[in-house]
Each structure stands twice: as C-alpha cells, then as structure tokens.
Amino acid sequence: MERPGDEHDDCRTAPLLEPKHAHGEGSNNDKQEEDEEEVGSLGRRVLVESKKLWVVAGPSICARFSTFGVTVISQAFIGHIGATELAGYALVSTVLMRFSGGILLGMASALETLCGQSYGAKQYHMLGIYLQRSWIVLLCCAVLILPIYLFTTPLLIFLGQDPKIAAMAGTISLWYIPVMISNVGNFTLQMYLQAQSKNMI
C-alpha cells in the first residue's frame, strides 16, 4: 500500500545535477555534437537575419542606385558638351541640390517618427493626416529655398565663381526647380511607407 507522499520521494532522492562523464569518448562526442549544433544554429540564425535585412535594405539600395544613376548619367552626357556646361551642372547638382535636399530630407524625417508612433499605436487615420501636414510644411520650406535657385548666378558671382560658369549654373538651376519640388513628395512618401514597413513599394 502506497503512502500519499511516496511519489515525491523519487524527486527528493534524485540528484540535482547529472554527474559529469569521465574524460573519454562519450564526453568528447557530446561536446562535438553540441559544437556542431551551435555552428549549425549560428549559421541558420545568420541566414534568417540576413534575409530579414535584405527585405528592408534591398529596395532602398535599388532606389538609391537609380536616383544616383540619373545624376551620374546626366553628368556624363553634359561632359560631352563642354567643360563650362559640366562645371555648371556639377555646381548645381552637388551644391544646390544637396543643400535643398538636406533641408527637405531633415524636415521629412520628422514624419517618420510621427507615422511610426501612429502606426504602433494603431491610430491609422493619423498617418494620412500627418502625411498631408508634411506636404504643406515641406512645400512652404521649398518656397523659402526657391530664391537660391532663382538667383544662382549673382550668388555664385558674389562668392567668387567664374562668371561664365555662374551663368551656366544659373540656367541649369532653373531647370532643377521641378526636381526640388518633386523631392517634397518623394521624401515624405518614403518616410510614410517606411513607417509601415512597406519597403517593396
């Protein structure tokens, strides 16, 4: 006849830790198996993590290459026209576009925070509101930057640039005004979609 506490006696007498194997074949084989499992699991984890990273980074890399490719190809074609044209284009694309793009991208980065908070809090209706507000703010900012594009020639001459190059840069900068305005939609939509992890669009 069993007493009520008999089933717990085995637990009381069992050792808390298993004894170590003697240094022999058994312990070496166990260690090798554990090492192989760790290496296999590490490789699997690296593969899984890299897949997740490429899902996010792959579309971004393609977008950056295609955007940068427009500048490089345009510069290559303009270089065939003449040195003055190439210098004017280089001034506009590297100085003016980087200056205005930096300001607009910095302003648009606030949208990434706001949309991320709204998406995390499941307040999806606020995503569209923040996007529309950012369009208004960035368009106002673009209007404030616009005089730099309109008065590029006198500005560059004032800074000591060659008058021929400054005149060419002034002509090219007028054609870059639509590009600067289009960056408003480009940057804000990037942040809006990234906040929702929609990187493949």
Task: Specify the DSSP element, H or E, that contains 10.
Answer: helix 6-13
Domain-located, residue 160? yes
Cβ-count burial of 53 within 10 angstroms (0-12 exposed, 13-18 middle, 19+ buried)? exposed
- Does residue 36 lie in a domain region? no
Q: Is residue 200 included in any domain, yes or no?
A: no
In a domain, 1, yes or no: no
In a domain, 150, yes or no: yes
Q: How many domains does the chain have?
A: 1
189 found inside a domain: yes
Most confident of 12-16, 68-72, 152-156, 189-193: 152-156
Q: Is residue 186 part of a domain?
A: yes
Q: What's the pLDDT score for residue 144?
A: 94
154 lies in which domain range? 82-194
Among residues of the chain, what percentage have pLDDT more than 90? 36
